[in-house]
Amino acid sequence: MYIEQGYKGNLGAWNFLIIPGLFSAFMLVNYVMTMSMIEQGVSVEDTMQQLIDQIGKLPTLVLNLSIFVIGIIGIFIWALLINQQSFRGITTSRKKVDWKRVFFMFFFWGILSAGLILLSVYLAPENFEYNLDWSRFLPLLAVVLIMLPLQTSFEEYLFRSQMMQGLGILTKTRWIPFIVSSVLFGLMHAANPEVEKLGMGVMVFYIGTGFLLGAMTLLDEGLELALGFHAANNIVAALMVTSTWTALQTDSIYLDVSEPTGMGISDFASVLIGYPIILIILGRIYKWKNWSEKLFGRVLSKEEFLALDHQEQPLQNQSL
């Protein structure tokens, strides 16, 4: 009943789409401007490098993340004060936010992704330079642990909360918000320098990750697993390995010095095979049932949901 939590707000479905619509318009303008720069022979990589040369890697990272910090504050203000939802209601369908789920997914994916990076370094050491400098790494660690979870949470609450609940209530379906929010999540990254360097094939990774996070949210009826996964993914990437042409350029432990060659078979396999395996593992751990209904079924009407919620309240009070 995660999508139906939106009914507990006092406003209409369109109110859930204001911030996602504005942000999508902002990203579209950013994409058009980026493409215009590329057509004029101005590289996104060179533009970013100029900024780094002027103010440094860490200040550039803080500057880039600041917009997301403002964004998550804006979403919470809008959802809590305008939509009049509770923090629990925009996060989960459970009676309280399950932080154990957040931290389990964070450490599960964090350890796995860190292990895969170390395996890549071991198998192809010529592609990496050891880059650890404690005087630069420790400030990076502080910034990453504070700001990156806010950045990833902004994206989760934007796409998997505001947009998914809003579209679900508007269309009374689950498959429309599942597909639309996942695709738009991927397209949001279209202006990243990785796309310029690796080609449009990398969008399979971004959109595929959107579908993974959307499936986690609908199958588990809450954002907790998606919040943990997304935070772990970006934190590990920022701390362990970077390159001169990625969106996140940091003083990480390793520097990838290999020449980008685009998406290979192994990259596509990690999305098309690896991601479903992750869902199967999580499904066994959390005993997910009715996958088809949760991903593609209908959303209850407001009357049906409130009647069902009202029936559950006496049972909850009795158990107390």
- The better pLDDT of the pair 11, 149 is held by 149
Checking if the pLDDT of 299 tops 80, the result is yes
pLDDT at 187: 87
Average pLDDT (198-217) is 91
Long-range CB pairs of 61-64, under 8 A, 24+ apart, other chains included: 61/140, 61/143, 61/147, 61/238, 61/248, 61/249, 61/250, 62/143, 62/147, 64/247
pLDDT tens readout for residues 219-249:
999 999 999 999 999 999 999 998 877 777 8
pLDDT at 261: 72
Bridge partner list, 129: 255
As a whole number, mean pLDDT of residues 246-262 equals 83
- Report yes or no: 224 and 99 within 8 Å, Cβ to Cβ: yes
pLDDT tens digits along 27-67: 788 777 777 766 776 666 667 767 777 888 899 899 989 98
Give the start-end residues of each E strand in 45-194.
Answer: 128-130
Report whether pLDDT(298) > 90.
yes
- For residue 291, which amino acid is it? W
For residue 173, the SS3 value is strand
Would you state the pLDDT for residue 228? Answer: 97
Region 181-193: what's the mean pLDDT? 85
pLDDT of residue 110: 96
| Averaged confidence pLDDT in the chain | 87
User: Domain segments of the chain: what residues?
Assistant: 35-311
Range in 8-22, 34-48, 95-109, 184-198 the model is least confident about = 34-48
Give pairs for 50-54: CB < 8 Å, separation 24+.
52/249
